[in-house]
Amino acid sequence: MTVSRTAQDFIAAPRRDGIAAWRKIADALEADITGGTLMAGSQLPAETLLAERFAVNRHTVRRALAELTVKGLVRATQGRGTFVEARRLPYPIGPQTRFTQNVAREGREPGAALLAAAHVRADERIASLLALRPGDPVLRLDTLRSADGVPLTLGLSFVPLPRFAGLEAALRLHGAITPAFAACGVADYRRLETRVGARIALPGEAERLDLAPGRPVMVVDSINVDLDAVPIQATRALFAADRTEIVVQS
């Protein structure tokens, strides 16, 4: 690849302005992203090609990419490369909140994975949310949901037992919670309560969500009830804040 005169002037010229080369590279790539030269979801050139483009070593390029990752502009995927993050996905929360519908409405492909399932005893908080007694049996579900293959939310849900003893199998079969509930006799349900907070992702959470260390997540606690207003699900979902925008609907 031939280094353009612009790149030489921008990076390799005498640095009397005191700005580090990695910072100039980060700024140049950010301008490409915000200006549309590098489109959302597109893959950045390999480090070797970027190093050639800007007439620097790979370490300098790597430092620039790390800065863009921290800012939430790009996402490095092991074994695949570095990709431009898509625009934030508007995620409506209202009386009927459905992940699959929310993602599909934005023209993206929803995905879901059941990471783990276990029968446990409800602690005081979960018992209170589900109108149970502490120690009552509940089914715990750990899920990871995505849009166009990019992790979006890490969820931890609890549903009452024995009422939903077949929910795990139904969820594995259908891949979504709404048809899984329908298979267990709940034709429809609604959102009773939603609470939204924020914090920094813990290391394990960041790894699951493919986030850079130190990136924020939105913490969304919710309760769903059936049409008789009986609580059927208590969930804590961690949304990648760089990728989602919560929209509250009445």
Element (H, E) at 48: helix 47-54
- The pLDDT averaged over each successive group of 10 residues in the chain (250 residues) is 47 63 90 84 88 90 88 78 85 92 92 96 98 98 94 97 97 94 96 96 93 89 97 97 88
What is residue 229's three-state secondary structure?
Answer: coil
Q: Which CATH code, of 3.40.50.12160, 3.40.1410.10, 3.40.50.300, 1.10.1740.10, is assigned to 89-248?
A: 3.40.1410.10
Question: What pTM was computed for the model?
Answer: 0.77
Residue 220 confidence (pLDDT)? 96
DSSP state of 97: -
Residue 33 confidence (pLDDT)? 84
* Secondary structure (DSSP) of 120-185: EE--HHHHHHTT--TT-EEEEEEEEEEETTEEEEEEEEEEETTTTTTHHHHHHHHSSHHHHHHHTT
What residues does CATH 1.10.10.10 cover in the chain? 5-84
Characterize 125-161 residue by residue with b for buried, 16 or more Cβ atoms within 10 angstroms of its Cβ, and e for exposed.
Answer: ebbebbebeeeeebbbbebbbbbbebbbbbbebbbbb
Residue 73 confidence (pLDDT)? 86
Residue 14 confidence (pLDDT)? 47
What is residue 13's three-state secondary structure?
Answer: coil
Determine how β-strand 89-93 pairs with β-strand 110-121: unpaired
Residue 39 confidence (pLDDT)? 83
Element (H, E) at 53: helix 47-54
Residue 231: is it exposed, middle or buried by C-beta count within 10 angstroms (0-12/13-18/19+)? buried
What residues does CATH 3.40.1410.10 cover in the chain? 89-248
Residue 10 confidence (pLDDT)? 54
Cα 93 from chain centroid? 16
* Separation of alpha carbons 121 and 108, rounded Å: 37
Cα 99 from chain centroid? 12
* Separation of alpha carbons 85 and 67, rounded Å: 14
Joined together, the tokens standing for residue 124 give 């005081």
* Separation of alpha carbons 142 and 46, rounded Å: 35
Residue 22: name the closest of 50, 62, 53 by CA. Answer: 62
Residue 72 confidence (pLDDT)? 79
Residue 114: is it exposed, middle or buried by C-beta count within 10 angstroms (0-12/13-18/19+)? middle
Residue 84 confidence (pLDDT)? 87
- 5-84 has which fold? Arc Repressor Mutant, subunit A (1.10.10)
Residue 243: name the closest of 65, 83, 116 by CA. Answer: 83
Residue 3 confidence (pLDDT)? 40
Residue 15 confidence (pLDDT)? 55
Is it true that the peptide bond before 92 is cis, omega within 30 degrees of 0?
A: no
